[in-house]
Each structure stands twice: as structure tokens, then as C-alpha cells.
């Protein structure tokens, strides 16, 4: 009898898996903080005999090498992946046994990367689960443009062929268990649902329902900007990531926070956006701990810039550290917990800025007040409609383009409020008068704000 346990990492939009039988298991695409995988194996009472990578990841730092070292497991890595450490190279058709009639078979599925490999868990020779990594996702496929621009179309065509190979070799009832697609920017589009099977994908996945030319054309047309930090993930995984240190950073007092800000370092406030707007350290940036702090922080920050974390509690600092090590930000320079009044020198004032809804923006415009409306959504979101007269700078570009924001009070919005809060903190730190629109974009037309559709303006 086999089992498959799913480990979800919402901050990255990824999943890892632990699968096996009564005594032995394999960990597929493990996270950097391996203690969670070890704990899952302990709950099952199994030994991790194998650690398997579907590919060299571009969106996070893998914990595979360290997990193999700690557990003594064999580290299965696609043979064509160029790495600097000892591993067990796997090629198409290679099989390892997990006991009790269970085996793991490698299936070459290039496309997301040239060396991408899926793994099929087999029980008595019959496929019972497919770990598809960044190949066949739920309703979509992994993006093919993360390796080399000149290979993108070739890899997109390979994605189509790999999806068909999986569909041809596996039965309809076999679960599709991808690593990407649950919010990860490694996905060409977001997953349509939470679970799927080969049979369901045959009916709904464009890679399996469309001819290769139309599939590739639409796939390439829909690709958006690659997060800047991705450039550092592949090399880190190829070199062999070091073990992580999740002990709390050294504490920072108000004077040290001020010195770090003066030195141009980043001070990141993890509190929720409501609390941040009500009072924060001047010059600090707001990346909510409950949101995706690692993804957006890693995307925006100049790589290697020291980071000091601020939060209500040590537990929030610890949670953020887990998120950050997964994207290669290994050790915060310092941290402080408590209240914002404790983070500034005596007599210094906290910064504040107002929050509003789209109805408030409509009322301001109706009164004839001149304000700047800044849209920080992605290009694909803006393509669905935008507020007339709004300025568009995607959130990941804003830090380097603040000088392009027109003069005046800036009302900044996204699709739901989280990215607008990040943007508002960046603008506030730059000395701009800002209002954070903390509202769902669907409320904009309901408030009477006219929208422009691309091609109609």
C-alpha cells in the first residue's frame, strides 16, 4: 500500500511531496527548510531513501542536497543537469524501488527546462501517481522561458510533446501532482483547481487539446516578466545550497535601525498593511508576513542588500525567515519585535498615510480634485481593463521607476490591496504623499470609475 503526502508552500505557490510505502519513501522537490519533510517522514514512520528533483529550480532554492546528506538518501537529479556536487544521475526509464511492490520511474519531460524529468510512482507495475514538477500542471504547463531566450520556442514545443507523452503513457485515473502552478511565477498561467488527474487534463489542458502551433503561439504570447531573483536560484541549486540557519537574527534597537536606514539598507516591516499605514518607521517598507513577503521582497530588493525585519512577535520573524531562505535570502542582518514606537528614537515621529476604497477615489474625482492614480498590477491584469487616466508601473518595477510617477498625491491600487500596500510604502519612503487603495478592483466600476479596455483608448 502506498501513500502520498503533499507539503504546500503558499508563499511560493509550490508543493513538495513525500511518497512511499510502509518503510521507505521518496521526497520530491523538497523545500530549503528540510525539517518539515523530516517531520512528515517521522509521522509516517518511514525512512527517506531517495530525494528526487524534477529539475534545477528557477524559483526557489532546493533543500534536496541537504536532505540527502542528513538522511543518507540517494539524491536523484536529472543526468543532463549540470551540477557541482555528487548525486545519482537519472535518465529516462531509470527506476528505483521503494519496497512492497513500489517503484519510482523517471520519465523525461523536457520543456520547463531541457533536462526536466517527471517521476511516476508505480505499484506492481501500474502507475498510481505522477510527480510532474514544472511539466504538466493543473490546467496549464510550466513556463519555457526561464533557461535561455533562444531556447524558449523550442522548449515550448517540448512542453507540448511532454504533456502528450504523459497522457499517452498513464491511465486516466493517475493523479497529476505538480510542483508549480499554485501561485508560482514558474507557471505559464495559474492552476485551474487544486487537484487533477491525467484524464481530467486530457479534457481541459491546452497542451492536450490544441495543436502544437496554436498552443505554442498562445503560450509565448501570454508570458510575463520573470522575477529578478530567479537569476540567482538556478546557479544556487547547481552549485549545491548550503544548510540554513533559522535561529533568530540578532536584535536591533532604534539607533541601529536608524543607522541601517541611513546606510541604505532595507528595513522591512512584516506587520499587516492596516497597522503599517497607521504608524511605521520612516523609510521602512511594508511586506506583509501574511502575504507573499519572500516572492515580492526577493523580486524588488537589490540582490545581496542587507535586510532588517520588524514584526509584532518573534514567531512572525521566524515565519518570515523560512519564507526568505527558500529564495536565497539566508540571514537577516537584524530584527526587532514589539511596537513601532520602540523602533524609533525618543521624540521621533512615526510616518502614516491614509487608506481608502475605490468609492473614495471616485468621490475625489467627482469633486474635481487632481490626483495621480497609479496601477501596480501586472500587464495581463491591466489588459482586462484599467481606470481612465491611470499611470501603470507594475509593482516589481516601481522601486527603480519612482521618479516616473507624476507629481501630486498618489492613489495607488492593485487587484486586492497587498501590492498596493507595498507600493504605498515605497512611495512613502521616497517622500511622496500617498493613499493606499485597499480594495478589490471589481469595486472600481461599481464605484462609477470609468474603465478603459485596451484597443479602445
- Place 190 in a pLDDT band, splitting at 50, 70 and 90: low
Of all residues in the chain, what percent carry a pLDDT higher than 90?
Answer: 92
pLDDT of residue 377: 97
Q: In what order do the strands lie in the sheet with 102-108?
A: 95-99, 102-108, 117-123, 126-133, 176-178
Inform me whether the pLDDT recorded for 275 exceeds 60: yes
pLDDT of residue 456: 56
Inter-axis angle of helices 35-44 and 64-71, nearest 10: 50
Cβ count within 10 A of residue 251: 11
Inform me whether the pLDDT recorded for 150 exceeds 70: yes
Query: What's the whole-number mean pLDDT along residues 116-120?
Result: 98
Where is 133: in which H helix or E strand? strand 126-133
Structure-block grid coordinates of residue 362: 471616485
* Closest to 177 (Cα-Cα) out of 219, 125, 122, 118: 118
Please, are residues 11 and 323 in contact by the beta-carbon 8 Å criterion? yes
Inform me whether the pLDDT recorded for 4 exceeds 70: yes
Identify any residues that bridge with 375 across adjacent strands, giving them in sequence order.
392, 413
pLDDT of residue 181: 85
* Closest to 336 (Cα-Cα) out of 352, 313, 318: 313
Identify any residues that bridge with 386 across adjacent strands, giving them in sequence order.
452
Could you tell me whether strands 14-20 and 24-28 are parallel, antiparallel, or unpaired per DSSP bridges?
antiparallel
Q: Distance between CA 329 and CA 213 in Å, rounded?
A: 40
pLDDT of residue 189: 64
pLDDT of residue 381: 94
Tell me the C-alpha to C-alpha distance, in Å, between residue 133 and each of 64, 159, 178, 186, 261: 14, 12, 5, 10, 40
Inform me whether the pLDDT recorded for 366 exceeds 70: yes
What end-to-end distance do the CA atoms of the chain give, in Å? 61
pLDDT of residue 10: 86
Q: Distance between CA 111 and CA 156 in Å, rounded?
A: 6
pLDDT of residue 256: 97
Instruction: List, as one string, the DSSP characters of 78-123.
Output: ETTS--SS--EEE-TT-EEEEETTEEEEEEE-TTSSTT-EEEEEEE
Q: Distance between CA 257 and CA 241 in Å, rounded?
A: 30
State whether residue 191 is helix, strand or coil: coil
pLDDT of residue 191: 60
Query: What's the whole-number mean pLDDT along residues 22-39?
Result: 97
Q: Distance between CA 387 and CA 378 in Å, rounded?
A: 14
pTM of the model: 0.93
Where is 26: in which H helix or E strand? strand 24-28
Q: What are phi and psi of 386, to 5 degrees?
A: -145, 160
Query: What's the whole-number mean pLDDT along residues 290-305?
Result: 90
Query: What's the whole-number mean pLDDT along residues 80-100?
Result: 97
Tell me the C-alpha to C-alpha distance, in Å, between residue 27 and each of 11, 37, 90, 256, 350: 20, 7, 15, 42, 47
pLDDT of residue 192: 61
Q: In terms of C-beta density within 10 A (0-12 exposed, 13-18 middle, 19 or more buried), how is residue 255 classed? A: exposed
Would you report the helix, strand and coil content of the chain in percent, each value rounded to 5? 30, 25, 45
DSSP 142: B
* Closest to 28 (Cα-Cα) out of 39, 19, 40, 41: 19
Q: What are phi and psi of 150, to 5 degrees?
A: -70, -15
Please, are residues 376 and 414 in contact by the beta-carbon 8 Å criterion? yes
pLDDT of residue 184: 76
Cβ count within 10 A of residue 245: 11
* Range with the poorest average pLDDT among 63-77, 185-199, 226-240, 406-420: 185-199
* Closest to 300 (Cα-Cα) out of 225, 242, 217: 225
Query: What's the whole-number mean pLDDT along residues 60-84?
Result: 98
DSSP 406: P
pLDDT of residue 92: 98
pLDDT of residue 292: 75
pLDDT of residue 125: 96
Query: What's the whole-number mean pLDDT along residues 206-234?
Result: 95
pLDDT of residue 12: 86
Average pLDDT, the chain: 95
Higher pLDDT, 12 or 291: 12
Please, are residues 46 and 25 in contact by the beta-carbon 8 Å criterion? yes
What the chain holds in terms of domains, given with CATH numbers, is 3-239 (3.60.15.10), 254-343 (3.40.250.10), 355-452 (3.40.250.10)
Q: Distance between CA 237 and CA 131 in Å, rounded?
A: 20
pLDDT of residue 244: 94
Q: What are phi and psi of 128, to 5 degrees?
A: -120, -10
Residue-wise pLDDT for 301-346, tens only, equals: 999 999 999 999 999 999 999 999 999 999 999 999 999 999 999 8
* Closest to 327 (Cα-Cα) out of 58, 4, 98: 58
Amino acid at each position: 500500500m502506498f501513500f502520498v503526502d503533499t507539503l504546500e508552500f503558499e508563499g511560493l505557490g509550490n508543493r513538495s511531496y513525500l511518497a512511499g510505502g510502509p518503510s521507505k519513501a521518496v521526497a520530491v522537490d523538497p523545500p530549503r527548510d528540510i525539517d518539515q519533510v523530516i517531520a512528515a517522514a517521522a509521522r509516517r514512520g518511514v525512512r527517506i531513501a531517495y530525494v528526487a528533483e524534477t529539475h534545477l529550480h528557477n524559483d526557489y532554492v532546493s533543500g534536496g542536497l541537504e536532505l540527502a546528506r542528513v538522511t543518507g538518501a540517494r539524491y536523484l537529479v536529472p543526468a543532463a543537469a549540470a551540477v557541482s556536487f555528487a548525486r545519482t544521475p537519472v535518465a529516462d526509464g531509470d527506476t528505483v524501488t521503494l519496497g512492497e511492490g513500489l517503484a519510482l520511474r523517471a520519465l523525461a519531460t523536457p520543456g520547463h527546462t531541457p533536462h526536466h524529468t517527471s517521476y511516476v510512482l508505480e505499484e506492481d507495475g501500474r502507475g498510481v501517481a505522477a510527480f510532474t514538477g514544472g511539466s504538466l500542471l493543473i490546467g496549464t504547463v510550466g513556463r519555457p522561458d526561464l533557461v535561455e531566450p533562444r531556447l524558449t520556442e523550442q522548449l515550448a514545443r517540448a512542453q507540448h510533446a511532454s504533456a502528450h507523452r504523459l497522457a499517452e503513457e498513464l491511465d486516466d485515473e493517475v493523479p497529476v501532482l505538480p510542483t508549480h502552478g499554485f501561485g508560482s511565477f514558474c507557471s505559464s498561467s495559474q492552476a485551474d483547481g487544486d487537484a487533477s488527474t491525467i484524464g481530467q487534463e486530457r479534457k481541459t489542458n491546452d497542451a492536450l487539446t490544441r495543436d502544437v502551433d496554436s498552443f505554442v503561439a498562445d503560450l509565448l504570447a501570454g508570458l510575463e516578466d520573470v522575477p529578478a531573483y530567479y537569476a540567482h536560484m538556478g546557479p544556487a541549486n547547481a552549485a549545491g545550497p548550503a544548510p540554513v540557519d533559522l535561529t533568530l537574527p540578532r536584535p536591533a534597537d532604534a539607533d541601529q535601525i536608524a543607522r541601517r536606514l541611513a546606510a541604505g539598507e532595507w528595513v522591512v516591516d512584516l506587520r499587516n498593511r492596516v497597522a503599517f499605514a497607521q504608524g511605521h518607521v520612516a523609510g521602512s517598507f511594508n511586506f506583509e508576513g501574511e502575504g507573499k513577503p519572500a516572492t515580492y521582497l526577493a523580486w524588488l530588493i537589490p540582490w545581496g542588500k542587507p535586510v532588517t525585519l520588524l514584526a509584532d512577535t518573534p514567531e512572525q520573524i521566524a515565519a518570515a525567515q523560512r519564507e526568505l531562505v527558500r529564495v536565497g535570502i539566508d540571514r537577516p542582518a537584524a530584527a526587532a519585535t514589539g511596537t513601532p514606537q520602540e523602533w524609533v528614537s525618543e521624540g521621533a515621529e512615526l510616518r502614516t498615510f491614509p487608506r481608502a476604497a475605490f468609492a473614495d477615489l471616485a468621490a475625489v474625482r467627482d469633486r474635481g480634485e487632481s490626483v495621480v492614480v497609479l496601477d501596480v498590477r501586472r500587464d495581463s491584469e491591466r489588459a482586462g481593463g484599467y481606470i481612465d487616466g491611470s499611470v501603470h508601473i507594475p509593482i516589481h518595477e516601481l522601486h527603480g521607476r519612482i521618479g516616473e510617477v507624476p507629481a501630486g498625491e498618489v492613489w495607488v491600487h492593485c487587484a486586492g490591496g497587498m501590492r498596493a500596500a507595498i507600493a504605498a510604502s515605497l512611495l512613502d519612503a521616497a517622500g511622496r504623499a500617498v493613499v493606499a487603495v485597499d480594495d478589490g478592483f471589481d469595486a472600481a466600476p461599481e464605484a462609477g470609475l470609468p474603465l478603459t479596455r485596451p484597443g479602445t483608448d
